[in-house]
Amino acid sequence: MRSCGMSSRWIAVALVTVLAAPVLAQAETDMERAQREEIAELKRQLAVVIGEVQQIKASVVVPETPELKSSYGLGPAASKVYSTPRGISLGGYAEAFYRNQIGDANGDGEDLSDFLRTVLYIGNKFSDKLLFNAEIEFEHASTRSTGGGPGSVSVEFAALDYLYKPELNFRAGILLVPMGFLNEIHEPPSYFGTERPEPERLIIPSTWRENGAGIFGTLGESFSYRAYVVNGFDATRFTSAGVRGARQNGSESRSNDLAFVGRFDFEPMDGLQVGASLYQGDSGQDRDLAGGLSFPDARTTIWESHAQYRNGPLHFRALYTQALIDDARLVSLANSLASNNGVAERSVGGYAEIAYDIMQWIRPGSEASLSPFFRFEYVDTQNDVPNGFTQNRLQTRRLFIPGIQYKPIPNVVLKVDYRNIDPLGGNAADELRFGIGLAF
């Protein structure tokens, strides 16, 4: 009997084992399935993270090539946002110089070194059509509050663009006034010499920016244009030196008087560019004078024409400009200017320069360049003064500027030039200058 009981127990155990095997096998299968699903979910999450990291990397533009390209009237480094697929772009430029004064004038020897500008470009491309682009400039390595000198921090431009189609696009914000060669494209590697030409500082008061809005575009392969409405000058700051001090620069700008500015450029053949621009508008800004009188309207017209030719190592550039101010006599009286320091009815200026890259003779095929150049400038902010005022001939100058510049790569430049300055009404010290510049 006892033997029979033990046999029954073993038989029961065997039956339980046989019956439980499918259940255990099913439980193991469910566990494996859960593990596979968990692994698949982890793989999916990892793919999402990798995609987001790649998107973040792509949103910050770092150029893969040292050569930058100008777009829509802006400098090469300022144009980076246009080639960005989406998101943020960063760029900038910097320039510094050392000046040694020599010859011609009393008090020679006032030498100077200055880290003139450090600039940051920042843009954001919201979509293929909508983008924001801005330039923030630090001048003279400090601010007035920290350095006590002429330093400042300024927004040089800040514009919202809507790229509708190549022929018609829209722009609004603090705009660079589209005149001359350098007001829009003023990065140091893009021009010869350590100093911007005087006609593009005094007649066209570069860097010149104002609040406004307008349109721009290209027609075909060879024609481009820009047309803006901007706030006008503040004529209370006109002087014998011209209109430069009357810029409002987008800061709480008086906008009772608006101005129109338009520009076109035509490229009839590779390397040749010709164009012109016109600015016109009142500058009185409806200011009141003592005795119930109103400040004169001071209608201001500035025009310029320009041409440039580049063919391999050869570079040639020329520009001529005039500024015309109505009511110049009344403006001079309202600004309490002396009879020999009045506002001119007409200011004129121009320059021509030629350069040739000789690096092809030294190292053919090199990306570096070594370019001797020569520029002649003429500027006269007292060309025609109103009745009762005499011309200040210290404001009439010729400049003869030979120099040479070296670019180890297209975005970095080392410059040296000699500025022979010849005022019509006296003497001025000549200058030997050394400069560095870069854009990125």
> Is residue 180 domain-shared with residue 324, that is, in the same domain?
yes
Indicate the residue among 27, 59, 91 that finishes a domain: 59
- Provide CB contacts within 8 A for 357, sequence distance 6+: 312, 313, 314, 315, 369, 370, 371
Question: Looking at residue 117, what is its pLDDT?
Answer: 94
Domain-ending residue, one of 13, 28, 59? 59
Select from 44, 59, 74 the last residue of a domain: 59
Same domain, yes or no: 159 and 41: no
Residue range 338-355, pLDDT digits in tens = 998 999 999 999 999 999
Are 182 and 203 in contact by the 8 Å Cβ rule? The answer is: no
Q: What H or E segment, with its residue span, contains residue 212?
A: strand 209-219
**What span, in angstroms and rounded, lies between the C-alpha atoms of 254 and 239?**
19
Say if residue 22 is in the same domain as residue 92: no
Note whether 108 and 135 are same-domain residues.
yes
> Closest by alpha carbon to 347, among 383, 377, 321, 378?
383
Structural domain containing residue 13: 1-59
160 and 38 co-located in one domain: no
Based on the fold, state whether residues 288 and 392 are members of the same structural domain. Answer: yes
Q: Are residues 259 and 337 in the same domain?
A: yes
Quick one: average pLDDT of 240-265?
95
83 in the same domain as 54 = no
The per-residue pLDDT for range 199-243, each reduced to its tens digit, is 999 999 999 999 999 999 999 989 999 999 999 999 999 999 999
Q: Supply the pLDDT for residue 151.
A: 83
Same domain for 157 and 54? no
% of the chain residues with pLDDT over 90: 72
Say what percent of the chain tops pLDDT 70.
85
Mean pLDDT of 245-257: 94
Give the pLDDT score at 143. 79
Residue 221 phi, psi dihedral angles, 5° rounding: -90, -15
pLDDT recorded at residue 68: 78
Q: Is the pLDDT of residue 169 over 60?
A: yes
Mean pLDDT of all residues in 294-299: 94
Which amino acid is residue 104, in one-letter code? D
User: Could you tell me if 55 and 196 lie in one domain?
Assistant: no
pLDDT tens digits, one per residue of 347-405: 999 999 999 999 989 999 899 999 999 999 999 999 999 999 999 888 899 999 999 99
Do 229 and 316 sit in the same domain of this protein? yes
Number of structural domains (the chain) is 2
Beta carbons of 259 and 280 less than 8 angstroms apart? yes
Mean pLDDT, range 280-292, rounded to an integer:
90
- Looking at residue 54, its pLDDT comes to 58
pLDDT tens for 3-62 read: 445 455 555 545 445 444 454 445 557 676 777 777 777 677 777 666 665 555 554 444
Per residue in 73-91, pLDDT tens?
899 999 999 998 999 999 9
Q: How far apart are CA 266 and CA 280, in angstroms?
A: 22
- Are 24 and 166 in the same domain? no
Which domain CATH number covers 164? 2.40.160.10
Q: What is the pTM of this model?
A: 0.83
Query: Per-residue pLDDT for 145 more than 80?
Result: no
pLDDT for 105-114, tens place per residue? 655 568 899 9
- Predicted confidence (pLDDT) per residue in 155-168, tens digit: 999 999 999 999 99
